[in-house]
Amino acid sequence: MIFLGPPGAGKGTQAQILEREHGVHAISTGDLLRRNRAEGTALGRAAEGYMDRGELVPDALILAMMEPVVRAAPAGVLLDGFPRTVAQAEALDALLAQCERRAVAILFEIDLGLLEARLVGRWTNPRTGRVYHDVFAPPRVAGIDDDDGGPLIQREDDEPETIRKRLRVYREATAPLVTYYDRAGRLQRLDATANVESVTHTIEGLVGPESNAA
């Protein structure tokens, strides 16, 4: 299962809820890359400039990172933030075909004009990736994670100019995946403007026992 949608649409929020409440195994490429950066790995150093500029990390680096992760993942795995280009989607299909699995995409549909407010108000726990929002999903104590009591941070790429760049990149490089999965009959859509609980409810309805997701 793939979560597809623009930055700030709520993909990470929903992935974390599915993990917590339904035991879904979720993998976020953004979180994997940020962990590599924090640990100072070669991949993290190669990726950081692209991430800070709001650009996509090159396909070759992403595919090298994701191939072993996808091979090792259990059936029903949720991919948040991958694939993000047609080349990545084709590579994922080829990889899954080798293990007789296939991917279905869930598109988070939202007016792009709503996203800046979501992203500039976002606070993240850098240790766990859990996300909050000043207004829409505030922690019990401002700046402090509800779970582990540690400090929350704001992501460097959530600055208005970088957000606008990320939205442009989404329109140009990632939005074509909507057609890619739709033509293959493997796209489901949800209204991501709804509140968090409604979106979760919609996903629970979409991802039933009949799902053939990877």
184: nearest Cα among 19, 16, 4 = 4
Rg, Å, the chain Cα set = 16
Would residue 122 show up in a list of annotated catalytic residues for this protein?
Answer: yes
- Residue 62 in the binding site for ligand AP5 (CB under 6 A): yes
Which one is catalytic: 35, 53, 102, 155? 155
- Residue 195 in the binding site for ligand AP5 (CB under 6 A): yes
* Choices 36-44, 178-186, 193-201, 202-210 (CB under 6 A): range interacting with ligand AP5: 193-201
- Residue 13 in the binding site for ligand AP5 (CB under 6 A): yes
Q: Would you give the binding string for ligand AP5 spanning residues 73-92, x where CB under 6 A is met?
A: --------xx-x---x----
Q: Residue 144: CB partners within 8 Å, gap ≥ 6?
A: 150, 151, 152
Q: Are 88 and 174 in contact (CB under 8 A)?
A: no
Q: Are 26 and 12 in contact (CB under 8 A)?
A: no
- Residue 8 in the binding site for ligand AP5 (CB under 6 A): yes
Within a 13 Å sphere around the CA of 209, how many CA atoms are in the beta-carbon half?
Answer: 0
C-alpha span between 119 and 10 (Å, rounded):
10
- Residue 57 in the binding site for ligand AP5 (CB under 6 A): yes
Q: Which of 2, 17, 24, 54 binds ligand AP5 (CB under 6 A)?
A: 54
> Which is nearer to ligand AP5, 84 or 210 (by Cβ)?
84
- Residue 56 in the binding site for ligand AP5 (CB under 6 A): yes
Would residue 84 show up in a list of annotated catalytic residues for this protein?
Answer: yes
Task: Count interface residues toward ligand AP5 (CB under 6 A).
Answer: 36
DSSP string for residues in 100-132: T----EEEEE--GGGHHHHHHTEEE-TTT--EE
- Residue 133 in the binding site for ligand AP5 (CB under 6 A): yes
- Residue 131 in the binding site for ligand AP5 (CB under 6 A): yes
Hey, what are 17's tokens? 């809820």
Would residue 34 show up in a list of annotated catalytic residues for this protein?
Answer: no
Would residue 11 show up in a list of annotated catalytic residues for this protein?
Answer: yes
User: How many C-beta neighbours within 10 Å does residue 115 have?
Assistant: 22
- Residue 129 in the binding site for ligand AP5 (CB under 6 A): no
C-alpha span between 79 and 103 (Å, rounded):
9
Residues marked active site are found at 11, 84, 122, 155, 166
Binding site for ligand AP5 (CB under 6 A): 5, 7-13, 29-30, 33, 50-51, 54-57, 62, 81-82, 84, 88, 118-119, 121-122, 131-133, 136-137, 157, 166, 195-196, 199
